[in-house]
Amino acid sequence: MRKLKKKLREYSLFIWLILLVLITLLCQHYYNKNIQNQATNFKKILNNIYFNKTLKEITSNLNPRYKLINYIVKSGDTYENIIKQIEIKNNERKIFLNTIKKNKSLKILKTGQKLFFKIDKLQDSILVEFKIETDKKNEILFSRIVDTNIYKSKLIEKNFTKKIVYKETIIKNSLYNSAEILGIKPNIILEFARLYGFQVDFQRDVWKNDSFQIIYEEYIDASGKIIDTGNIIFANLNLQNNDLQLYRYEYKKNKIDYFDESGKSVRKTLMKTPINGARLSSSFGKRKHPILGYNKMHTGTDFAAPKGTPIMASGDGIVTRAQWCGGGGNCVKIKHNSMYQTVYAHLSKFGNGIKKGTRVKQGQIIGYVGSTGLSTGPHLHYEVIRNGKKINSQKMKLPSGIILKGQERKKFEISKIKIDVLKSEIISKLN
Ligand SMILES: [Zn+2]
């Protein structure tokens, strides 16, 4: 007996521990069971038919009277198939289509165009209002005249604001890539390249660590989304520590051009590179012909670019040839003035309306890159002819277009100072 008592005393701590564990487990079990009961009770309430009815009534009262639908036009969409997807009566659909038919400006649906429908659920789901975007900045609002099948329409300018944007960067990879990283929209990048295209060969003249600054306009809607881009107001491309600045200026009523700081138009008579995003693959001079295999004078400059890349007229002029021309495949020849002509060869196809006798503007698309004729891959063969002699387009010195003088120059200086002030204001805000 004593022995047992002694043993018990020895084990007492252990026994207490076991008891404690048992109590905890028991409590846990009851707690869980309680929760389960609560859950089943709750489920019972939810399944209760009367409760369900009340819930339905509450939520239906919470449902808004109007159903609002935003629709974005997909390729191949017609007004017929769009309205079919909207839950309204057939008669309502007919009224909608008849209303659209009467409005000539709405004939063509464009992919990405936005439509808006407002349906009154209290009034037998009638289409009380709809809006159709005509372009990025305008839309037509149709409102149903009460108790009729007629809509009155109103053109409304979307609520957007013009914002002046300033960006600058050091070019690390390509100009396009650097601009894209900054969030500059493709439209602006292309315009920038086009403006500098008269004086800069992007493939050869732009080096790593060159830089650029740009001021341009953006249109922002109420939600802060960029709807569209506007004009480039100022740009500076710094190439190997040389500034190439351009200022937008209206030199005559509705006549706008870009000028350098001394009032010379940056638009030259001809462009050095009549194509964007191309790589200069073969320059002017003697070379072994890639197909013929013997040494031959290369009388033009080759720009490698994917098939279908647009080719621009490098200056204003008249098309003197747009046809098959043997080794050159499909080619276009333009006469710019008494001195200069340009040739574009190996095209996959001609630009819209480009034929002999067509008058073209500088920058207008005259054809697309291909590999027709004697060619090993898609590229543009570009030739410049001066006084009947083929010259190196990459080395030519070209006279500029307009040069502002006298009173005109004075007005330009004022406009230029305004832009410079704007620029320093934006930059000081950034810092
Ligand atoms: Zn060539």
* DSSP conformational letter for 273: -
What is the distance in A from the centroid of ligand 1 to the CA of 200? 20
Report d(CA 214, CA 185) in Å as an integer: 12
DSSP reduced 3-state for 10: helix
What is the distance in A from the centroid of ligand 1 to the CA of 282? 7
CA nearest to 307, candidates 359, 256, 249, 347 = 347
Instruction: For the chain, give the longest Cα–Cα distance.
Output: 133
What is the distance in A from the centroid of ligand 1 to the CA of 258? 31
What is the distance in A from the centroid of ligand 1 to the CA of 40? 83
- State the pLDDT at residue 302: 93
- State the pLDDT at residue 305: 92
What is the distance in A from the centroid of ligand 1 to the CA of 102? 54
What is the distance in A from the centroid of ligand 1 to the CA of 396? 17
Report d(CA 61, CA 66) in Å as an integer: 12
What is the distance in A from the centroid of ligand 1 to the CA of 365? 20
What is the distance in A from the centroid of ligand 1 to the CA of 363? 21
What's the first-to-final CA gap in the chain, in angstroms? 92
Number of alpha carbons in the 13 Å side-chain half-sphere of residue 388: 0
Domain 279-391: assigned CATH number: 2.70.70.10
What is the distance in A from the centroid of ligand 1 to the CA of 272? 15
What is the distance in A from the centroid of ligand 1 to the CA of 91? 64
Which listed CATH number (3.10.450.350, 3.10.20.30, 1.10.287.70, 1.20.1260.10) goes with 66-157? 3.10.450.350
What is the distance in A from the centroid of ligand 1 to the CA of 395? 16
What is the distance in A from the centroid of ligand 1 to the CA of 391? 13
Joined together, the tokens standing for residue 45 give 């309430």
Q: Give the chain's length.
A: 431
Report d(CA 341, CA 325) in Å as an integer: 16
What is the distance in A from the centroid of ligand 1 to the CA of 306? 15
- State the pLDDT at residue 319: 94
Residue 49 has pLDDT above 80, yes or no: no
How many CB atoms are closer than 10 A to CB 221? 15
What is the distance in A from the centroid of ligand 1 to the CA of 298? 6
For the chain, counts of helices (H) and of strands (E)? 7, 23
Over residues 120-159, the pLDDT tens digits come to 988 888 999 999 988 877 889 999 998 899 999 998 887 7
Report d(CA 329, CA 347) in Å as an integer: 7
- pLDDT tier, 261 (very low <50, low <70, confident <90, very high otherwise): very high
Read off the pLDDT of each residue in 279-296 and give the average, rounded to a whole number: 74
What is the distance in A from the centroid of ligand 1 to the CA of 328? 8
What is the distance in A from the centroid of ligand 1 to the CA of 276? 17
What is the distance in A from the centroid of ligand 1 to the CA of 189? 27
- State the pLDDT at residue 10: 72
What is the distance in A from the centroid of ligand 1 to the CA of 387? 20
Instruction: Please tell me whether the overall predicted TM-score, pTM, comes out greater than 0.85 for this model.
Output: no
Residue 311 has pLDDT above 60, yes or no: yes
Which listed CATH number (3.10.450.350, 1.20.120.1200, 3.40.50.2000, 3.40.50.2300) goes with 161-267? 3.10.450.350
- pLDDT tier, 2 (very low <50, low <70, confident <90, very high otherwise): low
- State the pLDDT at residue 256: 86
What is the distance in A from the centroid of ligand 1 to the CA of 289? 9
Q: What is the DSSP string of 362-431?
A: TT-EEEE-B--SS-SSSEEEEEEEETTEEE-TTT----BS-B--HHHHHHHHHHHHHHHHHHHHHHHHH-
Query: What is the domain partition of the chain in residue ranges?
Result: 66-157, 161-267, 279-391
Over residues 183-234, the pLDDT tens digits come to 999 889 888 987 887 777 777 778 889 999 999 999 998 888 888 898 999 9
- pLDDT tier, 58 (very low <50, low <70, confident <90, very high otherwise): low
What is the distance in A from the centroid of ligand 1 to the CA of 382? 7
What is the distance in A from the centroid of ligand 1 to the CA of 380? 7
Q: What are phi and psi of 372, to 5 degrees?
A: -80, 155
Residue 380 has pLDDT above 90, yes or no: yes
Helix, strand, coil tally for the chain in percent (to 5): 30, 35, 35
What is the distance in A from the centroid of ligand 1 to the CA of 397? 21
What is the distance in A from the centroid of ligand 1 to the CA of 171? 29
What is the distance in A from the centroid of ligand 1 to the CA of 379? 8
What is the distance in A from the centroid of ligand 1 to the CA of 104? 49
What is the distance in A from the centroid of ligand 1 to the CA of 353? 25
Q: Which of 85-99, 101-115, 276-290 has the highest mean pLDDT?
A: 85-99
Alpha helices by DSSP H, 197-279: none
What is the distance in A from the centroid of ligand 1 to the CA of 429? 49
Kindly state the percentage of the chain with pLDDT values over 70.
89
Over residues 328-371, the pLDDT tens digits come to 999 999 998 778 899 999 999 999 999 999 988 888 899 999 99
Q: Are 365 and 311 in contact (CB under 8 A)?
A: yes
Over residues 313-337, the pLDDT tens digits come to 998 889 999 999 999 999 999 998 7
Asked, colleague to colleague, whether 161-267 and 279-391 share their fold, the answer is: no
Q: Are 347 and 368 in contact (CB under 8 A)?
A: yes
What is the distance in A from the centroid of ligand 1 to the CA of 361? 24
How many CB atoms are closer than 10 A to CB 244? 18
